[in-house]
A and B are shown apart, each in its own frame.
Chain A
Amino acid sequence: MNAIPPAAAPDSAYVRIANLTKRFGDFLAVDDVSLDIRRGEIFCLLGGSGSGKTTLLRMLAGFELPSAGTIRIDGADMSAIPPYERPVNMMFQSYALFPHMSVERNVAFGLEQEGLGRDQIRRQVGEILDIVKMGGFGARKPHQLSGGQRQRVALARALVKRPKLLLLDEPLAALDKKLREHTQFELINIQQRLGVTFIVVTHDQEEAMTLGTRLGVMNHGKIAQIGTPSDIYESPATRFVADFIGSVNMFEGRVSDDGADCLRIECGELGCTVRAERTVSCTRGATVWTAIRPEKINISRQPSAAGVQQAESAENLVRGTVREIAYMGDMSIYLVQIDSGRMMRVTLPNIMRGTERPLAREESVWLSWHGSSPVILTE
């Protein structure tokens, strides 16, 4: 899903956030966050409500002062710089368009503060409105626009000053699903065209995965993991991240064999031994969690048809009964109760139109997976 390759200069820390902390009374909203953001990338801060992502964004904009730590943008310390002097612009979740001003006046506002000449302002406003495809709407007032149009004006207003850094607070949250998908790609397009560094805050993992060059998953004011969308999805670092991004089947177990390149884990809850490629360091007897994504599980009527494993080895193979089937069109979700009693979630793409004998509820099935599928988590 990742639409953009990593930025050209990957090691330049364009925005450097160091040991940033924000306290509201006793509440630690942002807890000692350190983070480097590269020039020209779209960095998505993903987290639930109260995870501190919005507070972090507001500190970047200058609306909140850090309790501790520093923010540097392009080498310059932002600590003592008020919001109206920062080389940063923000697109607000509510868009915050000035209701008493026309679209043109809204977009021109930022340039007027710089004291530019009237002709130059008009030219720049015209240019940016064309880029966001709002060229013909300059004279309208915000209340005469649709939600999607307002979003574009807000984007134009934030971009017209060519900030070093554009902050976007839930940029697509107010749009309906179809428009959201369309706008996502357009946003990426505009970002690449103008080369502005974006920091996007969102609670929507799909939005973050599509938009982001890299993601930072936040939880309880801390960064839980930073990585590309596929890093985060395929190799989550913690149980929180594995559970937060996408859906996952998670089982507690004990390491029974730590070979050179493969681990064996006894999972009582799963009722079989999990054999996994060695990706983490752990010792024999340690408690770990096995996380398997629903789309990485095979479902079949025969254990032999399940693929790579032998049935008698009882590794990466469990028996269960289909309890629920949700047909989603492009794929189907199966809730399978395995013999240990736990439910497992399995998704299968519906590749063929109308299978001869589709799986039915209460049918007995075998679930299996490849040794590369389980992610072993130690925390």
Chain B
Amino acid sequence: MVAGIPTLWLLVLFLIPFIIVFRISFSEVRLAIPPYTPLLSWRHGAPLLQLHWSAYRFLFTDALYVSSYLYSLKVAAVSTLCCLAVGYPMAYAIARSDAAMRPVLLMLIVLPFWTSFLLRVYAWIGLLKNNGVINNALMYLGVIHHPLALLQTDFAVYIGIVYSYLPFMILPLYANLEKHDGTLLEAAADLGARPVRAFVRVTLPQSFAGIVAGSLLVFIPAVGEYVIPTLLGRTDQIMIGRVLSDEFFENRDWPVASAVAIVILLLLVVPIMLFQRLERRQLEAGR
């Protein structure tokens, strides 16, 4: 009974929608309601199953799709690394801070969630645009004479993603680092390891599970990110989330849109499976 509720949840909200999308991806477009061909039809009194690969084939005929996938993976990977670079020291500092301060610091990490995500991304437009806060300030100080093109660049997308997803990196890392046994570092020092070496040899390897968890929590949603690149990003290179939305709402090509979605899923399943294998290994290690 207890196990039934999560199963039901996954079935209704994940598996069934997935099957519907999967099924549509093997159809062809037609002008009708619904706007795609049925897979099963009756011909001469016998059922006929027609699977069309055209949607998938189409993804590889137009360079737009491949380049959008690669660009999305690149943006997600760079953003994840940036989140890790910014988030690890923050998580470490919180885990090492005074026990009474920790809830306050964690609260500050989560605080941005209290404002609408969309609003926060719009706020970055105000900061980054040509006559935005940053350019105006730099011009006023005389550092630059012409406004920097900050908006509609990769840089703006990285800023947006790192800013929005940073808590997802910090929280699992903090949960991991907070559990570390301080005597292990003392033992390392006692055996002759300087602080930096002790960190590299003891803390870092032990926080590996936290690094993986945080990275996946940033990487996976970042690959399919739609809002941030649309509002802050380049116009000549779109991310795959935007492609997906355009196929559905602009081209009304449901089969191609579904195929795009299925390929994203495949790209993400690989890291998820890796993550699960790692988790299992951690469990077996008796932690």
A: residues with CB less than 8 A from B are: 61-63, 82-85, 88-90, 92, 94, 96-100, 109-110, 113-114, 141, 143, 157-158, 161
Q: How far is the CB of B242 from chain A (nearest CB, A)?
A: 42
Is the C-beta of B189 less than 8 angstroms from some C-beta in chain A? yes
Residues in A with CB closer than 8 Å to B285 are 99, 141, 143
When the two chains form their complex, are residues B190 and A83 in contact, meaning their CB atoms are under 8 A apart?
A: yes
Q: Which of B175-199 contact A (CB under 8 A)?
A: 181, 183-184, 186-194, 197
Q: How far is the CB of A83 from chain B (nearest CB, A)?
A: 4
Is the C-beta of B201 less than 8 angstroms from some C-beta in chain A? yes
Q: How far is the CB of B213 from chain A (nearest CB, A)?
A: 16
With the chains together, A84 CA to B190 CA distance in Å? 5
With the chains together, A94 CA to B205 CA distance in Å? 20
Query: Chain A: which residue is nearest B208 at the CB level?
Result: A100
**What 3 A-B pairs come out closest when comparing CB atoms?**
A113-B192, A110-B191, A96-B187
Q: How far is the CB of A247 from chain B (nearest CB, A)?
A: 34
Q: What are 28 A-B residue pairs whose CB atoms fall within 8 Å in the complex? A: A61-B186, A63-B186, A82-B189, A83-B189, A84-B191, A84-B194, A88-B190, A89-B191, A90-B186, A90-B187, A92-B183, A94-B181, A96-B181, A96-B184, A96-B186, A97-B187, A98-B184, A98-B187, A98-B202, A99-B285, A99-B287, A109-B188, A109-B191, A109-B193, A110-B192, A141-B285, A143-B285, A157-B191
When the two chains form their complex, are residues B192 and A114 in contact, meaning their CB atoms are under 8 A apart?
A: yes
Is the C-beta of B276 less than 8 angstroms from some C-beta in chain A? no
Residues in A with CB closer than 8 Å to B4 are none
Residues in A with CB closer than 8 Å to B142 are none
Residues in A with CB closer than 8 Å to B181 are 94, 96
Given known A96-B183, A98-B184, A100-B206, contact A109–B189 (CB-CB < 8 A): no
Is the C-beta of B6 less than 8 angstroms from some C-beta in chain A? no
When the two chains form their complex, are residues B206 and A90 in contact, meaning their CB atoms are under 8 A apart?
A: no
Given known A96-B184, A98-B184, contact A113–B191 (CB-CB < 8 A): yes
With the chains together, A13 CA to B186 CA distance in Å? 27
With the chains together, A147 CA to B104 CA distance in Å? 39
Q: How far is the CB of B106 from chain A (nearest CB, A)?
A: 26
Residues in B with CB closer than 8 Å to A89 are 190-191
Query: Chain A: which residue is nearest B193 at the CB level?
Result: A113
With the chains together, A97 CA to B183 CA distance in Å? 9
Is the C-beta of B286 less than 8 angstroms from some C-beta in chain A? yes
Q: How far is the CB of A159 from chain B (nearest CB, A)?
A: 11
When the two chains form their complex, are residues A61 and B187 in contact, meaning their CB atoms are under 8 A apart?
A: no
Looking at B190, B202, B205, the one whose CB has the most chain A CB atoms below 10 A away is: B190
Residues in A with CB closer than 8 Å to B192 are 84-85, 110, 113-114, 161
Residues in A with CB closer than 8 Å to B206 are 99-100
Residues in B with CB closer than 8 Å to A98 are 184, 187-188, 201-202
Residues in B with CB closer than 8 Å to A97 are 187
Q: How far is the CB of A106 from chain B (nearest CB, A)?
A: 9
Interface 1/0 per residue, B266-285 and A, CB below 8 Å: 00000000000000000001
With the chains together, A21 CA to B130 CA distance in Å? 63
With the chains together, A272 CA to B179 CA distance in Å? 61
When the two chains form their complex, are residues B193 and A84 in contact, meaning their CB atoms are under 8 A apart?
A: yes
With the chains together, A63 CA to B185 CA distance in Å? 11
Q: Which of B238-287 contact A (CB under 8 A)?
A: 285-287
Query: Chain A: which residue is nearest B194 at the CB level?
Result: A84
When the two chains form their complex, are residues B187 and A113 in contact, meaning their CB atoms are under 8 A apart?
A: no
Query: Chain A: which residue is nearest B204 at the CB level?
Result: A100
When the two chains form their complex, are residues B187 and A92 in contact, meaning their CB atoms are under 8 A apart?
A: yes
Interface 1/0 per residue, B147-189 and A, CB below 8 Å: 0000000000000000000000000000000000101101111
Q: How far is the CB of B54 from chain A (nearest CB, A)?
A: 50
Residues in A with CB closer than 8 Å to B193 are 84, 109, 113
